[in-house]
Amino acid sequence: MNTGRYIEFTNRDENILRGILHEPPAGKAVGVCILLLSPGIKGRVGPHRLYLKIAERLTPLGFHVLRFDFHGLGDSGGEVAEVALADMYNTVQGGRYIGDTVSAMDWMAKEAGIRRFVGSGLCGGSISALLTAAEDSRIECLLGIGIPTALDGGPENWGRSLTTGQLQELRGGYLRKLMAPRSWMRLLTGRTNYSVLWRSLRSKPAAPAAVTPASASPPNDNANPRFAPAFRRVLESKRPMLLIFSANDRLHHEFEEKLERRHPDLASQRGHLYETAVIPQANHVLADRSSVAQLLDHAERWLIRLYHPRSPRVEAPCAPQGG
């Protein structure tokens, strides 16, 4: 097992950031580092040691893998001032950790001579990678895992921002449970979210027609205003993306509804400049072995196609543009 080696570096505010660098076997390095950026408030290990599993799978392919704690998290220096989790998550989606990610790439360039990167991570790690890629072209590809497109409203507002796709899924689930005694007991004892139940039963399938960019921002919408511009900038620079979602997670519905349907010009690039994959039965943190295995298979196939020098199917990714 490639357990990696401990490293530390400083960010722009002189906070010490600490992490682990996994290096490929001698003679197999492709000169590219995969940045596994911390998800939300979680540290560099990831939920259920997910990041260690990813590093173990990808280093034999010749990639360096760097995972580190952002400032204020884990073993790194700095503080987090926000009290509410929703506030913290929204600052992440607003680019809170762009600077830390740039500092990590600067350190890799100076200490390891690597200037080409794949931005990656679960949830908040993915949005940090995307927002950084929009500003720094050293991130030449994006491997997003459960990337969020909407701002967090907190658990008390969960039902208010459900997507049409998720409402349809919930509707089917409620109807299937009509024959289950336990479900009726939950309903009668007040443990069901009646507002969500009613909304799901009233919901209609989403209209297939795409919304034009001019009407892409309905009032009081919770779409992250930084997502679409960053996504557009990465696509316009011809940098490929693979976005992997979990089936039992609202995020893949949000991506379809808040990005693809509102920006048909971007959606037209699916299958060309970006690809998506949905892992059946998986939850947000990919808690079971089967989900992790499918995630790793998707990631490995995509990366081999882009980078592996011995594969006859390889197409060289776009050349890095500095930064």
Question: What whole-number distance in Å separates Cα of residue 227 and Cα of residue 255?
Answer: 10
Q: Which one-letter amino acid corresponds to residue 166? A: Q
- Edge-first strand order for the sheet with 5-10 is 5-10, 16-22, 64-68, 33-37, 117-122, 139-145, 241-246, 274-279
For residue 302, the Cα-to-chain-centroid distance in whole angstroms is 16
Would you write out the chain's pLDDT as a tens digit for each of its 323 residues? 677 999 999 999 999 999 999 999 988 999 999 999 999 888 899 989 999 999 999 999 999 999 999 999 999 999 888 888 888 888 999 999 999 999 999 999 999 999 999 999 999 999 999 999 999 999 999 999 999 999 876 444 444 445 555 556 556 665 666 666 666 556 566 555 555 555 556 656 544 433 334 344 454 578 999 999 999 999 999 999 999 999 999 999 999 999 999 999 999 999 999 999 999 999 999 999 999 999 999 999 999 999 975 554 434 344 333 33
Beta-strand relationship, 5-10 and 16-22: antiparallel
Within 8 A by CB and 6+ apart from 173, the residues are: none
Where does CATH 3.40.50.1820 sit in the chain?
5-153+222-307
- Mutual angle of helices 164-176 and 194-202, in 10-degree steps: 100
Three-state SS for 112?
helix
Token pair in block for residue 137: 């072209």
Within 8 A by CB and 6+ apart from 188, the residues are: none
**pTM of the predicted protein model:** 0.77
Task: Measure Cα distances from 244 to 99, 153, 216, 229, 277 in Å.
Answer: 25, 23, 24, 20, 5
Token pair in block for residue 244: 């992997």
Beta-strand relationship, 139-145 and 64-68: unpaired
5-153+222-307: what fold?
Rossmann fold (3.40.50)
User: Is residue 181 packed enough to be buried (19+ CB in 10 Å), middle (13-18) or exposed (0-12)?
Assistant: exposed
